[in-house]
Structure 1
Amino acid sequence: MPEVIFEVSRDLSVSMRDQVVPGHNRWHPDIPPAATVKPGASYRIECKDWTDNQVRNSDDADDIRDMNIDPCHMLSGPFAIEGAEPGDLLVVDIVDIGPFQEQPWGYTGVFAKDNGGGFLTDYSPQASKAIWDFDGIWTSSRHVPGVRFIGNSHPGLFGCAPSPDLLTEWNRREQALIDANPDRVTGDAPAHPGDVPGAPQVPALALPPLPQDALLGTLSGSAFDQAAAVACRTIPPREHGGNVDIKDLGVGSRVYMPVYVPGANFSIGDLHFAQGDGEITFCGAIEMPGFIDLHFDLIKGGMDRYTQTMPFFKPGRVGPNYSEFLTFEGISVEDGRNYYMNATVAYRQACLNAINYLMPAMDWTFEQAYLFLGAAPIEGRIGGVVDIPNSAVSLSIPLSIFDRNILPSGAGGGRDLTAE
């Protein structure tokens, strides 16, 4: 086993704040490194779940409904890499990942609309939850019956610390977005029946710095106060990576990350046992605490050499291998309104089309189908972004994960389209 450079108490009720070395839940260049590592070596990093143990293994969703999102995400790190300098590329290989033995389960949640919401918050405004039990590489849920699948485990969030200038730029442009239309979710005119122009909508367009509940590693005193006032939230992805939720970054993947500060100050967390493209419920993967083994290396001057200012990666070869899918289409038309080349609207429509099909096919509620699409290894794809006025996307669901044949019956002349 690689050397453990960040350890989490196996009493998972112990907050990240009370670990021997605390992690952090904001981005700021002044957060002190939790450890220093050498290029060319592998290390194990232990992680809390992203909410810091706010979710219970229960049959109600009160914990999701009442969740305090202000302390999220809880990240392990930062880790200084010897010799890393601004302009380098940090090379991170994902060697292994898994849950703690002490918690052989994870969860998927839909936040209530007034507490963050999700991709389909106007269609499912109340909180809901599914618990998923782990059986080696497999998972199933008593709350979403009829499916069992192999996890595509990966980290949802990782990145290097921003430089002071980059942090300032993040805050400038995100505040400008809020200021442009502070009462709207999407920054667009009301699109759904019942919406009132000018009425307050939640959540906000972006999340400005919030000193309340901030954790900045071992930073304390006036240095903490100054940093917490401008430290960026971890919710969105940005140029350094961050909360990208890319399900293909599993074991065997190699990630090339831009370095903005001396030492890089790399952090990681938000481990997922499985996830569908888009993580559409917001708390939408199968979230878990656990460990991740990483190998670090450096490409000196790599940002200029490869003309990249954002992470790029080579996906690994380890993961579920599905060959047959049922695919649903979505276009950028919603509630009788055309949205010009809007792939977000199109993907929402593909998700709704899939949910409307799965509800009778699997005898599920809307919420069960919604939770399933966030957790299962579904494939989202861009079909077209040039055929005005509509973008087209697709959402593909592996057929073999169901306990029954969900294809339409009574067509095709009796030909069987699924492999034995």
Structure 2
Amino acid sequence: MLSSKPLNRFQTREELSTAIRDRESRRYHLWRTAIFAIIIGSLTFNFFLAFANTNLFGITDSYVILVELILIASTLALALDRKAAPLTILAVFLGYMVFILAMRSELDLKAVRDILIPLAFYFAGKKLRRIEDADQIVFISAYIVVGVGLFEFLFLDTFTRFVNIFDYYVARGTLNPDDALIEGSNLFISATRFEGRNFFPFLGNTRASSVFLEPVTMGNFGAFLCLWALFRHGMKNRFLLFVLAFMVILLGDARFGMYVCVAFFLVMPFYRLVPRIIWWFTPFTLILALAIYGTATDQLTWEDNFAGRFYLSSQLLLELDTEMLFGISPEQVFLEDSGYAATLAQIGLVGVLALWTLFVFAPAGRPEGHKFKVLAIVFISLMMIVSNSFYSIKLAALFWFCAGAADGWRHDPAPRFRAG
């Protein structure tokens, strides 16, 4: 019950005001519990589906799609209220997606999902009353990832006995049975460093994936933890979050995640000095650099290093024709190793420009919000060079929720809460 008696039965204004505050506080805490559960579910559902596939019943791609639909729909229900702006933005972009998808030969719901995830979780994050609530869900997520990752790394045989990662990805159609690089391996294909680990080689060749099941998102998550720790200067236990970020990157042997963390520290002294329009140009500058490099380089083969990933991304970007650039090509081409190429082909240049502009120039309630925005721009721009894994709800739910919280963080008391 939200109140012990109807509001119109209170004798004084003070009693009525207290009752209203108590009711709104209970509604807010209930809402916060629900949205936290969704974020944790987004983080871990693949892990539990892999467990089910190994021990209980067969999983197909339909299970993954259904769970994601439930998570996104639930988030939208909690994020949207009677405010016109979120509803208008959502309606405009859904209409835009219907328009470009109508020009393709097949209905591609993944493209719609790629837009719904950032919109839904961003608007949900903006409804947070306190930035400390965002700190809490970040720490909870970090503890889960590090805890499962340590168990996987220390007790790998036991872990894979109950969670067969390779079979799960085969069952959902992401991998083929003959894709295994090691015969009999139960891990994702990139979970083994054949040439040895980059960090502390004496730890062996295995890269922990934790609840993400694959090490790429593991490294991205570690970089995000570093981002949040840098952003939240006055946060309680801030140093601990840096330690957790390092542990995630170490467990996943995520060299690119470490590069991104270094980039965060390099831009921090200058984030106030650079105009926002320059930050807006950052990903497009990188796209231009990739295109120039792809046309000028004489490199012929891919290598498993940053230069190799840069080369591969440039080649995939150069495969885009005009129809792909605007997201209306009827052909389905594998572009997932280049986040920029995949994004343009899925959403189209018009959609990309609109979404990116909305994010970069969205007003923040406090000056600190600009710091998060700059770090987020660096994070997104660098991650999109090597893959489109940033769109995965496993990480995107938490990231966009925190992005909304950073923009919605205000000095003044929180406005009256509306659950939806």
Q: Is the strand fraction higher in 1 or 2? A: 1
Q: Is the helix fraction higher in 1 or 2? A: 2
Give TM-score scaled by structure 1 length: 0.25
Give TM-score scaled by structure 2 length: 0.25
